[in-house]
Amino acid sequence: MVKQIILSQAPNCIVSPYEAPELRSGLTTFFLFDWNNPQTCFTDEQTADWVVNELLKKKVQVRTVFFPIVDFSGQPLQQSYVVRVSTGYFNKVSDVEEFALALEEVLTNLNA
């Protein structure tokens, strides 16, 4: 369900596998984006940390993860950061709905 939220708003920002059933999990990793202008992904640590802190104020806990962008040979091109959402059997649909609302609010205010 979290993957669907990201895919429906900013499909170019998702990092987690979502098509192959054998690679699906409760983890969703994505680059941050402006909710009203989702074509652009943010990859910097400062933005990722800000979003994580803003979500925490709303009692939504996610984390920032270092995610190097590499070329085809594996050489680093850019240091980047993603946000990781981890859901499990203990989460309810209402928890994911609360996450979606909080994420929309925070990402709408990203450039404010």
Mind listing the domains of the chain with CATH numbers? Answer: 2-108 (3.90.1150.10)
CB 28 within 8 A of CB 2: yes
- Rounded Cα distance, 53 and 58, in Å: 9
pTM of the full structure: 0.88
- Rounded Cα distance, 38 and 85, in Å: 18
Q: What percentage of the chain reaches a pLDDT higher than 70?
A: 99
- Rounded Cα distance, 82 and 44, in Å: 8
Q: Give the tens place of pLDDT for each residue, 17-63.
A: 888 888 878 899 999 999 999 998 999 999 999 999 999 999 999 99
Two tokens, residue 94: 């209402």
The packing angle between helices 93-108 and 45-57, to 10°, is 130
